[in-house]
Each structure stands twice: as C-alpha cells, then as structure tokens.
Structure 1
Amino acid sequence: MSQKTLWDISPIVAPDAPIFPGDEPYSLRWTARLSPDCPVNLSAITLSPHVGAHADAPLHYADGVASAAEVDLDAYLGPCRVIHAINCGPLIRIDHLRHAEKNLPPRVLVRCNRRADTVWNPDFSAYAPETVAWLAERGVRLIGLDTPSVDPATSKTLDSHQQLLRLNLRVLENLVLDEVPEGDYELIALPLKLAGACASPVRAVLRSL
C-alpha cells in the first residue's frame, strides 16, 4: 500500500501574520517556565480566530445562528477539488472555474495566488456572489480560497458571506495553496469547538486520494 502525500495548506500563526486592520494579532506569553520549582512550560495565547487558516462560523455574518462550536463537522472533511484561478483579478467568476466543473466533489478550494501574501494586502481576490450560488447548485457544501476573505476588503454588505448563509455553505479562508497542483484530494480542516466564537483556526491539510 503506497503512502499518501500530505499537503499542509495552513500558514504559520505568528505575531506578524497578516490580518485585517483592527483584528487582534497573535501573541503568546509564558505563564510558567521550567525550573527547579516547576516541571513544565505553560503558555497563554490571544488572537482573533480569523488569524491564519480559519473557518468562519455563520455567527460571523449573522446573529442567532451557529457559532464555531455548533457547526456540523462533515463539511470540513472529505473529497475536495483544488481549482486554479491564478491572477483572476478582484473576483472569482464562474468562467474561472468552468474548466474544472465536471463531477465536482462537495468541497472546492480556489487558488488565486502564485504565492500567499506574507503582509497585509487589501487587493486580494474574493468570490463573486453568483459564483458561490453556482457552486452550491452543483452540490458544493464548502468553499475556500487562499486569500483573507470571500468578500473584498472594502465590502460593507458581505454579499458572498450572505450567500453562504442563505445556501448553508461553509467556508475556509487564508489557506496556502502555493504548492498544490490542480486536482482532487481529501480535505481535513476541522474547526475547534470554541463556544460562542465567530470563527475558529484550523490546521488545514490535503491528502492524496
């Protein structure tokens, strides 16, 4: 039995990780250190749950809906297709994805960048709302991309997030797909069971089928 290849598609979470202006950056402090009087190192962290690769919960864009602890997990685990739309411009349009439309699995990740940004760049690619609907019509239950958001940085209406809510889709943002060829994989990207949280960090990986 041949060993399956694993792609780690999560950026490192560090104090200088790029974040939306106003988000809480990652920080770590030590609450205990190894010493003759202490047998362990212990740390405490603070961060926005949108730092690094993360799963938005519906609570991020609506009230009275599921938090990160309440979302069903099956959307984040299973067959997945990576589609390349490199340099697609401000929005991922339907035409950018048609070449990989046949027999879509329930999870689709779109690679927009040749290299993931290592500093905040507001001019990232996002999903056009009609593209989200088009994918849902084809049985897709989770979408993702290698940029900070499915909506443009300047959006105040969050039209693509609202499509996710209307169509009951899940989303992964801030992935790193630099080394991932176009094709089909197994996705593993489970959110943490964070009570009341609007999102959760994930350690997102792809595994060869």
Structure 2
Amino acid sequence: MSEWIDISQALTNDMAHWPGDTPFSYSLTYTKEQTGSVNIGQMTSSLHTGTHIDAPFHFDSNGATIDQLHLDRYIGKAKVINVSHVEAITPAVLEAYNLKNVERLLLRTSLPNDPKRFPEQMPHLDPSIAPFLQKIGVYLLGVDMPSVDAPDSKDLATHHALHKHGVNILENIMLDHVDEGIYELIALPLSIPGADGSPVRAVLRPMKGSDSK
C-alpha cells in the first residue's frame, strides 16, 4: 500500500502569517509536574495560518461557514499539475493539461514552499479560471500559496469568481516534493460552527493511473 504524503505546513511558533493577523502559538498551559498526571497544551491562531480552507463567509458576509460546507469535496481523487513555468495562471495555461474527469485540482506554482516566509509577491491566478474550472467539472482548487489572490488585494476577485462558479478553495499546501499525477486527497476542515476558515491536515496518496498531462 502506498504511503501517505503530508502536504500540510507544520504549525510552529515561528511560521509565517498574514501581516497584522494573529500568529500561531503553542505552549503548555500546565505540565505533568504541575498537574500530577498530564501535560495540557493550548494554542492561538488565525484560521488562515498554514494549510487551510476558506469558507465563503471569509469574503462574503452572507456566504456559507465552515460547518455548512460539503465534506466530500475535501476527500477523494485529485490531480496535481506543475504550473511553475508561468507567473500568470489562465485558462490557456490549464488547457495544456489533461483535466478530463478531474474534480479536485492542485496547482504547484513557482512559489517555493517556505512556511517561515510570507511572500511579498505570488503567481497570479486569473479570475477567468473560475468559469473554466466549472465548465470542466472541477469543484476544489488547491494552491501552494497563502491565497488565491494577491496579498494586497482588496476586491479578492479570484476568491469571488471561484465561489460564484462553485469552486471551493484550499490554500498553502506544500507541493515542492510532490510529482504531477493522480492522488487520493484528504484535507478535512475542523468542525467550527460559524467559522470563516479552518486549518487542515492535507495528505495525498498516489493512485494507479497517475499521469502528468
């Protein structure tokens, strides 16, 4: 049986976070010596630190929250493609790949996987990919970047376009060590009623019939 490949960022106290947002922090609240029986830890964090999913409520006050999303979108067959040769990802770029019967698409971009550095610039995901993805049947898009929009974006055009066309968003996955091909994906959000996002433990397992294009 194939081994699972972890594509999530480890949650560490020195990991990068969105400027001005709540950083991740883990510490022991009580030690075994203090309690006499157990160690008890605590953590604080933005829901958008590390590998996470966005709920529509993140960018639309009337949008669905994490607990209202369909879990089956985050479990199942996914395709990883390498688009690191371009800085702007458009339908024309994606058309070069065989995406027949792909429902979950994971993009390995030119941004190096570095959880300790928040990028000032990222490859551009053109909003026009949203209707293209909907047309071919993709309903989950994963990227190895902190966001599907630029860090300084205020209109979040790609977030809104993907939502409008029924495509869920998975961000900050780690794909530098992953080959192109077909995988089984698990990237389940936590059950947080009313939340705008959730960290996930995203993992892949190669499937038979893997191909690169």
Q: TM-score scaled to structure 2, two decimals?
A: 0.91
Q: Choose which of 122, 135, 138 in structure 1 pairs with 2:136.
A: 138
- The share of aligned pairs that are identical, in percent, is 37
Give the alignment's Cα RMSD to 1 decimal. 1.5
Q: Choose which of 151, 160, 163 in structure 2 pairs with 1:162.
A: 160
Task: Give the superposition deviation at 1:16.
Answer: 1.8
The superposition leaves residues 9-56 of structure 1 with CA deviations (integer Å, 9 ceiling, x where unpaired) of: 001111221221111100123221102742000011100011110010
**Is the contact between residue 50 and residue 199 of structure 1 (CA under 8 Å) also seen in structure 2?**
yes
Report the Cα distance in structure 2 between the residues aligned to 1:97 and 1:132, rounded to whole angstroms: 11
Equivalent position amino acid for 1:165 in 2: H
Partner of 2:210: none
Equivalent position amino acid for 2:97 in 1: A
Partner of 1:61: 59
The count of residues paired between Structure 1 and Structure 2 equals 206
Partner of 2:74: 76
Partner of 1:99: 96
Report the Cα distance in structure 2 between the residues aligned to 1:57 and 1:128, rounded to whole angstroms: 20
**Is the contact between residue 147 and residue 175 of structure 1 (CA under 8 Å) also seen in structure 2?**
yes
Task: Give the superposition deviation at 1:181.
Answer: 0.7
Long gaps (5+) in structure 1: none
The superposition leaves residues 108-161 of structure 1 with CA deviations (integer Å, 9 ceiling, x where unpaired) of: 010003631331112112421001221111000100110110011121111111
Distance 1:126 1:148, change over 3 A: farther
**Is the contact between residue 113 and residue 178 of structure 1 (CA under 8 Å) also seen in structure 2?**
no
Q: TM-score scaled to structure 1, two decimals?
A: 0.93
Report the Cα distance in structure 2 between the residues aligned to 1:29 and 1:109, rounded to whole angstroms: 33
Partner of 2:211: none
Report the Cα distance in structure 2 between the residues aligned to 1:155 and 1:170, rounded to whole angstroms: 19
The superposition leaves residues 80-105 of structure 1 with CA deviations (integer Å, 9 ceiling, x where unpaired) of: 1101001421x311232222234141
Report the Cα distance in structure 2 between the residues aligned to 1:37 and 1:73, rounded to whole angstroms: 38
Q: Per the alignment, in what secondary structure is the counterpart of residue 36 of structure 2?
A: coil
Report the Cα distance in structure 2 between the residues aligned to 1:42 and 1:62, rounded to whole angstroms: 36
**Is the contact between residue 53 and residue 197 of structure 2 (CA under 8 Å) also seen in structure 1?**
yes
Partner of 1:38: 36
Q: Per the alignment, in what secondary structure is the counterpart of residue 14 of structure 2?
A: coil
Partner of 1:113: 110
Q: Per the alignment, in what secondary structure is the counterpart of residue 129 of structure 1?
A: coil
Q: Write out the 4+ residue segments of structure 1 that deviate beyond 6 Å after TM superposition.
A: none
**Is the contact between residue 82 and residue 181 of structure 1 (CA under 8 Å) also seen in structure 2?**
yes
